[in-house]
Amino acid sequence: MPEILKTQGLVLSKLNFQESSKIVRVYTKDFGKMSFLVKAARSSKSKSGNIVDALNNIEFIFYKKESRDLQLITEATLVNFFPHLKENYESLIYGSAIIELLDKLLHENETNFRLFRGVIRILELINSNPGKGGMYFVKFLFFFLDELGYRLETEKCALCSAPLSISANVGFNFEEGFLCSECKKDRLINFSFSAEQFKKVQCLSSRDSNCGESPELIEKLIGFFEKYLSYQIDEFKEIKSLKLI
Ligand SMILES: [Zn+2]
Q: How far is the CA of 142 from the centre of ligand 1 (A)?
A: 21
Domain 3-80 is in which class?
mainly beta
Would the pLDDT of 184 be above 80? yes
Q: How many whole angstroms separate alpha carbon 65 and alpha carbon 77?
A: 22
Interval 187-212: pLDDT, tens: 999 999 999 999 999 999 999 988 88
Interval 92-105: pLDDT, tens: 999 999 999 999 99
The 8-class DSSP code of residue 148 comes to H
Please write down the long-range contacts of 155-161, taking CB distance under 8 Å and 24 or more positions apart.
155/202, 157/183, 158/183, 159/183
Q: How many whole angstroms separate alpha carbon 225 and alpha carbon 148?
A: 13
Q: State the pLDDT at residue 1.
A: 79
Distant-in-sequence, close-in-space partners of 171: CB < 8 Å, separation ≥ 6: 178, 179, 181, 183, 184, 187, 189, 190, 191, 192, 193
Q: How many whole angstroms separate alpha carbon 39 and alpha carbon 49?
A: 8
Three-state DSSP at 105 gives helix
Q: State the pLDDT at residue 42.
A: 86
Would the pLDDT of 50 be above 90? no
Q: How far is the CA of 158 from the centre of ligand 1 (A)?
A: 7
Q: How far is the CA of 162 from the centre of ligand 1 (A)?
A: 6
Q: State the pLDDT at residue 221.
A: 97
Q: State the pLDDT at residue 76.
A: 95
Section 109-127 average pLDDT: 97
Question: Any idea where the domains of the chain sit in the sequence?
Answer: 3-80
Q: How far apart are the first and last CA of the chain?
A: 48
Q: How far is the CA of 137 from the centre of ligand 1 (A)?
A: 28
Under the banding of pLDDT at 50, 70 and 90, the label for residue 48 is confident
* CA-based nearest residue to 194, from 165, 170, 164, 219: 170
Q: How far is the CA of 184 from the centre of ligand 1 (A)?
A: 7
Q: How far is the CA of 154 from the centre of ligand 1 (A)?
A: 12
Q: State the pLDDT at residue 210.
A: 87
Q: How far is the CA of 95 from the centre of ligand 1 (A)?
A: 36
Q: State the pLDDT at residue 75.
A: 94
Would the pLDDT of 107 be above 90? yes
Predicted TM-score (pTM) above 0.85: yes
Helices (H), the chain: 47-51, 83-87, 89-105, 113-128, 133-148, 195-204, 215-232
The 8-class DSSP code of residue 225 comes to H
Spatial strand order in the sheet of 169-173: 177-179, 169-173, 191-194
Three-state DSSP at 165 gives helix
